[in-house]
Amino acid sequence: MDCQITLMWLCSGSSFLTCKNTQRTPRAMRSPYRVSLQKYHGAPRDTERHVGDLGNIEAGTRGIAAINFTDSLISLHGPHSIIGRALAVHNGTDDLGKAGTEDSRTTGSAGSRIACGVIGIQ
């Protein structure tokens, strides 16, 4: 069963000014990789991917990035639940595991983490 998720980032203030008009990589389940089906990094629609490989998003001119997506691997309940998991935003564009390097196959060469949080239900 597919899980539909809506996420929104507000990148404002001095520590997040770099979020404006740049690509960001959300990752609902960063680690450990053994929880991520023991796969290499990939794109959201790839069959070879970690559970939390959610692709790239782009913040608009006001620093807000909002996405609404459906994913076949993540869920709100069960072993692939994203509730209580970390969400990390990286400072670079995720190459979706296509560069052929070890870093690409594990993290998508997305760069350092610039923001993070914990996913919950309100």
For the chain, domains (ranges, CATH) are: 3-118 (2.60.40.200)
Q: pTM to 2 decimals?
A: 0.63
Question: Is the Cβ–Cβ distance between 40 and 48 less than 8 Å?
Answer: yes
Q: Give SS3 for 104.
A: helix
Convert the pLDDT of each residue in 59-105 to its tens digit: 777 777 777 778 888 888 887 788 888 888 888 889 999 998 988 98
